[in-house]
Copies of this chain bind each other. A is one copy, B any other.
Amino acid sequence: MKNVKCGRCVKCGREYEAVPNLTNCECGGILDIIYDYDYIKTTLTKEKLAARDDRSMWRYRELLPVEETTPNTPLRVGWSPLYEADRLAKELGIAKLWVKDDGQNPTASLKDRASAMAVAKAQEAGAKVIACSSTGNAASSLAGNAAAAGLKTYIFVPSRAPKGKVAQLMTFGATVVSVQGSYEDTFELSKQAIDKWGWYNRNAAINPYLSEGKKTVGLEIMEQLNWEVPDYIAISVGDGCTIAGLWKGLKDLYAIGFIDKLPRLISAQAEGCCPLNRAIANNEDWYPMEENTLADSIAVGVPRNADKALMAIRESNGIVVNVSDEEIMAAQKLLGRTCGVFGEPAGVTGTAGIKKLCEQGKLPKDAKIVSVVTGNGLKDVANAIKACGEPISIPSDMDLLLKAFAEKGICIEEAE
């Protein structure tokens, strides 16, 4: 990899050769992949990128830590749509809002970006099996991307993972272990099993390449905005890997001169589980917290990538915002009604955060904001049903329809 210099520990600064099965530093710190931006500048230009036919995360290969000979992974990951959300912006009273719908990925979440990278690196390592622990989305994305590439998977999920996610990954042929305990318990068991059997490790807080997959969401946002930098990018935060990846992508683009400034990050967590935002708000170290929110994908009481996430938020002069489950459910309906985008609870938490910050007057009226929706609402229908209530239910009879509409206060003008 001519574009990569090494893996460097974010804690102690020790450097490691960027071999495919790189894991944490001996000191326990997570590694950051260090690029040779001078070299990259000689190989990648905006014009070259614009002419590229590939509409997937692999269009950014010059900025990704893979060998030139490594094939693109089979599923079409990335290049999710960035929608102009003018009606939503108007409702919130902000100048300009875009919604990046990353639920439009093969297994319906942003995690596909990391899993595709894991599959590529596992293939470089000559591995036939990949394993991970996950609250659900990383699991199903790994199972899907690995299945498409012909690799076997062992996957550890906490028992609270929604059935939809579990069914999805079992359909992909994964061997699934549902761990009766917290995400922390799940992570520990997966670690022991990976250590014992030497599987390729797709835990995003252990494998430094995964953030590099996730960063493609930031690369895409900027290319889709024609390199015009927004004021803020809002995203939900759990383990910390995703916001760290987003920030890495933005910094890459700044380093190679594709953008001339950096946006501020909005880190949105659930009130019931916000150890990282608490650390920022109180300007202190993070410490564990209960996992008390319906937004299962970000219910992470012991964030495994706290260092990178906190650095990202602080470096960007970011804003933290915590939202209640009710605010998350309201944001789900708001996004659906105004944008036609159906996000899972954790997926819409960034939007819920923007709404709250607007109500609190903490965002300037002329702000240009991108909200990343990290997963599809179909992943967790039970909570969507709770949020929506039940439809009108009647036999096929016009009189009963009129009665039901009247009872619900639905008034229809003819040819409305």
Contact = CB atoms under 8 A, between A and B. Distances in A.
Interface of A: 55, 74-76, 81, 83-84, 87, 101, 104, 106-108, 127-129, 143-150, 152, 157, 159, 163-164, 166-168, 170-173, 175-181, 185-186, 188-189, 192-193, 196-199, 332-333, 336-342, 376-379, 381, 384-385, 387-398, 401, 404, 410, 412, 414-416
Contacts of A167: 377, 381, 384-385, 387-388
A336 B173 contact: yes
A177 B404 contact: yes
7 contacts: A74-B340, A167-B387, A170-B388, A171-B333, A171-B388, A180-B393, A192-B398
Nearest to A413: B197
Contacts of A173: 333, 336-337
Contacts of A393: 159, 177-178, 180
Nearest to A129: B416
A106 B385 contact: no
A128 B416 CA distance: 6
Nearest to A200: B415
A196 B392 CA distance: 19
Contacts of A333: 171, 173
Given A148-B341, A168-B384, A171-B384, 7 more contacts: A81-B106, A129-B416, A163-B385, A172-B337, A180-B395, A186-B396, A197-B416
A168 B378 contact: yes
A337 B148 CA distance: 8
Main secondary structure of the interface of A (DSSP, over half): mixed
Given A177-B401, A340-B147, A401-B193, A185 B396 contact: yes
A170 to B, nearest CB: 4
Nearest to A140: B342
A171 B336 contact: yes
B395 A185 contact: yes
B172 A416 contact: no
A196 B152 CA distance: 57
A76 B55 contact: no
A332 B81 CA distance: 27
Given A180-B394, A180-B395, A193-B401, A387 B83 contact: no
B336 A172 contact: yes
Nearest to A190: B396
Nearest to A164: B381
A57 to B, nearest CB: 13
Nearest to A157: B391
Interface centre among A83, A168, A379, A387 (most CB of B within 10 A): A168
Contacts of A145: 340
Shortest beta-carbon contacts, A-B, top 6: A148-B340, A198-B415, A173-B337, A176-B391, A171-B336, A185-B396
Nearest to A343: B171
A76 B87 contact: no
A391 B75 contact: no
A107 B55 contact: no
Contact of A199 (B87, B339, B385, B416): B416
Nearest to A53: B50
A387 B199 contact: no
Given A167-B384, A180-B393, A336-B147, A175 B83 contact: no
